[in-house]
Amino acid sequence: MSASPAIGTDDPATSWLVDPQHLEWLRAEATAQLDFFRPSLRSDGGFDTLARSGAPLPRGPQELHVTTRMIHSYALGKAFGASDCDPIIDAGMAYLWQHHRDPEHGGYVWSTGPQGDATKLAYGHVFVLLAAASAKLAGHPDADRLLADIAEVLDTRYWEDSHGLFADEFTRDWQPFSAYRGMNANMHGTEALLAAFEATGEQIYLARAGRILDFFITRMAPAHAWRLPEHYTVAWQVDPDYAGNPMFRPAGTTPGHSLEFARLALQHWDLSGRPGTPPDGPRRLIEQALADAWLPDGGIAYTLAHDGSVAIADRYWWPVTEGIGALATLLKLCPEPQDEATYRRLWHFADSHFIDHANGGWYPEIDAEGHATETQFTGKPDIYHSLQATLFPLVPETTRFMAALARADTTG
């Protein structure tokens, strides 16, 4: 696999976050990703999954998180200054409203098209809120309509105020079909709530994000050796034996989620006016996840047992991208001497193993020998994680990120 040009200075005294060589490399990588995924837009306004080469794969159901993440990613791209982002945002917003939205029962179905699934999951709905907030920040004319609709659905169908957390899953006509409660939807719910607060200034979004973070970061993490349990009962008690979908709900703990949640906790602290010193919990989550899951040959193990031992050693791209985002946030807000080396190590591994320098985009998984493979994923199904990893380090801000990108001379 070919390597890109040098991705940053070798000088250990210069942080890559202010290194012109690294920042230029990030700008080029972000542009390459946006260019690679732009042809996924179909003539009917939906989005194809792309093969490694960039050719569209045979069409299957279009899932809600795909539509919403494309809106969010190209809204970021527009703020970054990339060209031709509006057609993606416009198409995604129309497809979301005309195809995913259920005009009879309200809410948004999980997937459309061949073998579509009308299940209504919190995981998908919080991404609708993220898309709406990002579209509003990008100035889309339909963003307020979408924001009002999804806020009402989340408030009346998913938010459990007695717990301060989101419930998970319903049938199309809003019948609960399991007692499952999970961290993943709430983590992405935190991400969406913070974005909605930035887009609207409405305090309820910041307050609800804080309640979710209090449960997981303040209560659950220290009680479980700074490893976050993923799965819970209807009463929000840890369900240690749960094993569901091997991609979305694997057994055990998922260190990539610890990295992601830690970044969100620091962003919440920043948006809340930085009261006191930076909270200690996010750093402890990040350091524990990397201590447990960084493998001898590099990369982050997908899942751990509850004692921190590796359960599934498969190496996917997204935990590395979340590690990059987490370390960039530490470097911006509360750096310690080891953070720069860890940030560089993550980027070196991503550059050597996940980035396709010939075609663009990132390979989503590598095998035991470090080569791209297709066991869990086919093609290149995602821009969201890898694009954010390239854009987060480009500006010194950790919050109000789209506005910061728009102000900066990010395109060189």
Dihedral sign, Cα of residue 198, residue 264, residue 132, residue 170: negative
268 noted as active-site residue = no
Amino acid letter for position 142: D
Dihedral sign, Cα of residue 314, residue 319, residue 324, residue 328: negative
Taking every pair of Cα atoms in the chain, the longest distance, rounded to a whole number of angstroms, is: 60
Q: Of 92, 124, 93, 95, whose CA–CA distance to 107 is shortest?
A: 124
Phi/psi-derived region of residue 106, left when phi > 0, alpha when psi is between -120 and 50, beta in every other case? left
Catalytic residue among 65, 140, 231, 385: 385
385 noted as active-site residue = yes
pLDDT of the residue at 400: 95
> Which strand (E) or helix (H) includes residue 269?
helix 255-271
Tell me the pLDDT band of 245, cut-offs 50, 70 and 90: confident
pLDDT at residue 410 is higher than 80 = no
Quick: pLDDT tens for 155-191. 999 999 999 999 999 999 999 999 999 999 999 999 9
List Cα–Cα distances, 9 to 14, 19, 20, 266, 356, in angstroms: 7, 7, 9, 27, 22
pLDDT of the residue at 5: 60
Q: Of 106, 105, 142, 109, whose CA–CA distance to 124 is shortest?
A: 109
223-241 mean pLDDT: 97
pLDDT of the residue at 2: 38
Catalytic residue among 140, 257, 268, 353: 257
219-245 mean pLDDT: 97
3-state helix/strand/coil string of 283-305: HHHHHHHHHHHECCCCCEEEEEC
pLDDT of the residue at 246: 82
User: Residue 103: how many CA atoms within 13 Å on its side-chain side?
Assistant: 3
Quick: pLDDT tens for 294-325. 999 999 999 999 999 999 999 999 999 999 99
pLDDT at residue 31 is higher than 80 = yes
398-403 mean pLDDT: 95
Q: What is 16-407's CATH number, 1.10.3720.10, 1.50.10.10, 3.40.50.2020, 1.10.287.70? A: 1.50.10.10
